[in-house]
Amino acid sequence: MTLAVSVRHRQGAFLLEAEFRSSGRLTALFGPSGSGKTTLVNVIGGLVRPMSGRVEADGRVLVDTQARVFLPPHRRRIGYVFQDARLFPHLSVRQNLNYGRFFTPRGERYADFEGVVDMLGIGDLLERRPAMLSGGEKQRVAIGRALIASPRLILMDEPLASLDEERKAEILPYIERLRDEIRIPIVYVSHALAEVSRLATDVVHLAGGRVRKAGPAGEVLATAGWQPKPGDAVFDDGPFSLVEMEVVGEEPEHGLAILRSSGGEWRLSVPRLAVGTRVRVRIDASDVIVATERPRGISALNVVAARIDGIADAGRGRFMLDLTCGSDHLLASVTSRSVELLDLRRGREVFAIVKSVAVQGMPMAVR
């Protein structure tokens, strides 16, 4: 399925001007709050009528302001899972789940009630009223309700945002099963990097109502932590990069796992993972040291060859280096003094020494 969106919409002082195309199994609309994610997903779902633009899903035109086409939500067959589950309070869980099936043309009903109920583990809740459910249960029922309508696409707007960590961990595997087993295309809105890097096959990175970057998750997320201008904080906790790695072995006596990225081999103390597992590893720019020669007699385990691809003044005496390491990007934060002393400039071959890493929401989606 291919989703092609190109819209312009003004809402008060906010201007959304976004264009992207994705055929991923789970496309994440990702960015800080106020970046236009929800407006964009509402345009796809038909809850917002854009001032101008075009939305096409699977070759079907949903919106084309030039041709005066606007398909109302009930004719789009696009499921929507809202942040606040929005279950119908006057209906039981079973009636909520069956609500959409009634409106789906007979020939297009692919969802099987029992299968969905089993998959989401909500068999014991069927006769209850929504008021008697916990937050996590409500959200699972909301996913089931969208699914049983047999949609062609499912939109999820921050479905985990109102849940605590434990409940999030409860729901995430179900979304992964939707993506991998039912293989229904999903558009997923989130500002949480951990969710996006775990779930997304494709990412549309939004900021200030515009698309900063769109494409395969690995590519977009690699530099999602890059701050283009000082003070233009994308994330509260500083710039970072994400590198895709595959587990290739372990050194149990040292409690280390051996992973391989496109740029080299890494020894990381991460939770035990099966060989062949692919993960996304987050490396904070402040945890990367740059050396012009291969260092020796150093306690850091991870030293990889890299090339300086970009250099930017981050203000307050600090510079941000964009390093290429294989096909991956690494961000490194260095002082202006080091830049002068080591003559760090674009194109220079260096070594990156990484002090620590964090494995982000694993295991990740396999494209």
Partner 1 sequence: MDWLALSPEEWTAVRLSVWVSTWATFVSLPLGIAVAWLLARRDFWGKSALNGLVHLPLILPPVVTGYLLLITFGRRGPVGSLLESCCGLVFSFRWTGAALACGVMAFPLMVRAIRLSIEAVDRRLEAAAGTLGARPAWVFATVTLPLILPGVIAGMILAFAKAMGEFGATITFVSNIPGETQTLPSAIYTLTQVPGGEVGAMRLTLVSIAIAMLALLASEVLARRVSRRLELE
Instruction: Say which residues have a Cβ less than 8 Å from residue 212's Cβ, sequence separation at least 6.
Output: 31, 205, 206
Considering beta carbons, is residue 44 or 354 the nearer one to partner 1? 44
Considering beta carbons, is residue 20 or 82 the nearer one to partner 1? 82
Considering beta carbons, is residue 86 or 267 the nearer one to partner 1? 86
Beta bridge partners of 290: 352
Smallest separation (angstroms) from partner 1 to the CB of 3:
16
Instruction: Say which residues have a Cβ less than 8 Å from residue 52's Cβ, sequence separation at least 6.
Output: 7, 8, 9, 65, 66
| Interface with partner 1 (CB under 8 A), residue from 4, 15, 47, 305 | 47
DSSP helix, strand, coil percent of the chain (3-state; round to 5): 25, 35, 35
User: Which three-class secondary structure string do you get for 154-217?
Assistant: EEEECCCCCCCHHHHHHHHHHHHHHHHHHCCCEEEEECCHHHHHHHCCEEEEEECCEEEEEEEH
Strand (E) or helix (H) holding 138: helix 135-148
Beta bridge partners of 311: 321
Smallest separation (angstroms) from partner 1 to the CB of 73:
4
Going by C-alpha positions, the residue among 112, 46, 105 that lies closest to residue 79 is 46
Task: Count the site residues for partner 1 by CB under 8 A.
Answer: 29
Distance between CA atoms of residues 205 and 224, nearest Å: 8
Q: Does 146 bind partner 1 (CB under 8 A)?
A: yes
Considering beta carbons, is residue 29 or 311 the nearer one to partner 1? 29
CA distances from 235 to 224, 231, 284 (A): 9, 11, 12
Q: Does 45 bind partner 1 (CB under 8 A)?
A: yes
Scan residues 77-136 and list those touching partner 1 (CB under 8 A): 77-80, 82, 84, 86, 88-90, 99-100, 102-104, 129-132
Considering beta carbons, is residue 80 or 266 the nearer one to partner 1? 80
- Choices 59-67, 75-83, 114-122, 328-336 (CB under 8 A): range interacting with partner 1: 75-83
Going by C-alpha positions, the residue among 2, 37, 24, 3 that lies closest to residue 210 is 37
Smallest separation (angstroms) from partner 1 to the CB of 126:
16
| Interface with partner 1 (CB under 8 A), residue from 149, 175, 221, 331 | 149
Smallest separation (angstroms) from partner 1 to the CB of 133:
10
Smallest separation (angstroms) from partner 1 to the CB of 347:
51
Smallest separation (angstroms) from partner 1 to the CB of 98:
10
Scan residues 215-254 and list those touching partner 1 (CB under 8 A): none
Smallest separation (angstroms) from partner 1 to the CB of 148:
9
Distance between CA atoms of residues 367 and 353, nearest Å: 29
Strand 26-30 versus strand 186-190 pairing type: parallel
Considering beta carbons, is residue 103 or 235 the nearer one to partner 1? 103
Smallest separation (angstroms) from partner 1 to the CB of 38:
13
Could you list the residues that contact partner 1 (CB under 8 A)?
45-47, 72-74, 76-80, 82, 84, 86, 88-90, 99-100, 102-104, 129-132, 145-146, 149
